[in-house]
Amino acid sequence: MHHIKIVNIVGARPQIIKASAISRAIRLHYSDRITEIIIHTGQHYDKELSDVFFDELELHKPDYNLGVGSSSHGRQTSLMITGIEDILQKEKPDCVLLYGDTNSTLAGAIAAAKLHFPVVHIEAGLRSFNKLMPEELNRIMSDHSSTLLFAPTNAAFKNLMKEGFRPENSPPYSIDNPKIYFTGDIMYDNTLFFAELAERKKASLLTDLGLDRDRFILSTIHREANTDDITRLDSILKTLSLLAGENLVKFVMPLHPRTTNSLKTKLEPLYRELLDNKNIRIIPPVSFLEMTLLEKSCKMIITDSGGVQKESHFFKKPCLVLRKETEWIELVKNGTAVLVDADPVKIRKEFERFISDGAGLEFPGFYGDGKTSEFIIKEIMSLFEQ
Ligand code: UD1
Ligand code: UDP
């Protein structure tokens, strides 16, 4: 019986959440055959962007934390590569698991591929076709460093084929003969697993925040394009503030520190106005169970987050996407998510449409059967049984 060692690279909030799904599948089926090592790059370090998820989602604490912190893209990524390289040389894993599209993902891909450790990319093939966003470069380079690529959607799988990946490749797989899969989404596994628990453990959150079920809007904003471009941030938040007042509907906004920092330093008067607006609750980032409860209980979601867009679908809520394009195009084609950019006219039009006729929307199952992590782990094991 093979025993294998897997190194997981995490760094940003959504990766910790994703790694918990894989870790749960390992504990369920392979605890005697897989040793799991977690490297945390330290890209996210505030408690509410990192520790809270380890505690709540029962992921074992990182075996290593590189503590790289925040800096420019090049500096942050290079510090991560150096740190990951040292650990990989020491640990000599059988493969390296990467999640999503952050700088931590890219650093893991470069360090592992150059040392010839097989890279497994979970959430492969997603493309926005906008290389000005840092995540797009991270995705492309990570995919092309990988041996096993798990695409969560049909669109992502097709993107890989367009870039020359061949579904007909046969074992033994390698970086030059990679294997691509169309699976579901491991975040759907998480939502199914945690939704009821969120309800049981966190129900008091709604009362604490003064929110009535189905009568509030949940909004998050954190993308570089929105937080660093003050014109966009100003335009989005002013529009949401007006809509909250006109429709007498409450907004709850768990804000990423990046967004709060921009508001405090560059849009101070607007920030104060928002804090004074009794229909808007700006709060610090919440835990995954709290977020799950908010998503499950709200009327509509307005976000620039990739993960939150999908979760809007899992909970059958309409979603306004504060971007020009999205990787999750099936949501937009389905009509339940709409790209509103940072445009006040579009935001208002689509908000009013969804608030008045939320009913009648259909939310087909695009993201698998809730057992994607188990499938992925089984396939990783088979890589070593060829
Ligand atoms: C990163 C990812 C993004 C992902 C997001 C998830 C990249 C290029 N971006 O964006 O794809 O959607 O994580 O949340 O990898 N900060 C804190 N505390 C922290 C971490 C960050 O205050 O614990 C602030 C710092 O001011 C920092 C800024 O947030 O400069 C940006 O952090 P960074 O990790 O570079 O990017 P994110 O915007 O978090
Ligand atoms: N999330 C959370 N608390 C918050 C905001 C988001 O737990 O305050 C979760 C959310 O439910 C989703 C993930 O974080 O699972 C998405 O991460 P984020 O929006 O930071 O990044 P993206 O998905 O855009 O990369």
pLDDT tens for the 386 residues of the chain, in order: 679 999 999 999 999 999 999 999 999 999 999 999 999 999 999 999 999 999 999 999 999 999 999 999 999 999 999 999 999 999 999 999 999 999 999 999 999 999 999 999 999 999 999 999 999 999 999 999 999 999 999 999 999 999 999 999 999 999 999 999 999 999 999 999 999 999 999 989 999 999 999 999 999 999 999 999 999 999 999 999 999 999 889 999 999 999 999 999 999 999 999 999 999 999 999 999 999 999 999 999 999 999 999 999 999 999 999 999 999 999 999 999 999 999 999 999 999 999 987 568 999 999 999 999 999 999 999 988 86
Q: Is 328 in the pocket of ligand 2 (CB under 6 A)?
A: no
pLDDT for res 358: 59
Q: For residue 105, which atom of ligand 1 is closest to its CA?
A: 15
Tokens of 373: 């992590």
- Dist. CA 5–CA 34, nearest whole Å: 6
Q: Quote the pLDDT of residue 247.
A: 83
Q: What are phi and psi of 5, to 5 degrees?
A: -115, 125
Ligand 2, residue 286: give the atom nearest the CA: 8
Q: For residue 280, which of 297, 302, 262 has the smallest C-alpha distance?
A: 302
- Distance in angstroms (rounded) separating the CA atoms of residues 301 and 280: 14
Distance 218 CA to ligand 2 centre (A): 12
- Ligand 2 centroid, distance to 14 Cα (angstroms): 6
Residue 386, pLDDT score: 63
Its sign, for the CA torsion 210, 208, 266, 303, is: negative
| Set 40, 44, 144, 222: catalytic member | 222
Active site residue 29: no
H helix and E strand count, the chain: 17, 13
C-alpha 42/C-alpha 12 separation (Å) is 8
Q: In this structure, what token pair is assigned to residue 274? A: 């928002």
How far apart (Å, rounded) are the C-alpha atoms in residues 300 and 317? 5
Q: Which residues contact ligand 1 via a Cβ below 6 A?
A: 12-14, 43-46, 49, 70, 101-103, 134-135, 222, 256-258, 261
Residue of the CA atom closest to atom 18 of ligand 1: 46
In this prediction, residue 269 carries a pLDDT of 97
Asked whether the beta carbons of 178 and 148 are under 8 A apart, the reply is yes
Q: SS3 of 117, please?
A: coil
Helix pair angle (230-247, 257-266), 10° resolution = 100
pTM of this structure: 0.98
The CA distance from 40 to 49, in Å, is: 12
Give the Å distance between the CA of 92 and the centre of ligand 2: 31
Atom of ligand 1 minimally distant from the CA of 43: 34
89 to 92, 94, 114, 121: CA distances (angstroms): 6, 12, 11, 20
User: Which value, to the nearest 10 degrees, does the dihedral of the CA atoms of residues 376, 377, 380, 384 take?
Assistant: -150
Token digits for 271?
Answer: 């920030």
- Nearest-angstrom CA–CA distance, 71 and 284: 22
Q: What is the pLDDT of residue 1?
A: 67
pLDDT of residue 298: 97
- Is any ligand 2 atom within 6 A of the Cβ of residue 286? yes
Residue 148 is encoded by which pair of tokens?
Answer: 């096993």
Instruction: Give the integer Cα–Cα distance in Å for 138 and 120.
Output: 14
For 10, the 3-state DSSP assignment is: strand
Quote the pLDDT of residue 79.
Answer: 98
User: Helix, strand, coil % (nearest 5) of the chain?
Assistant: 50, 15, 35
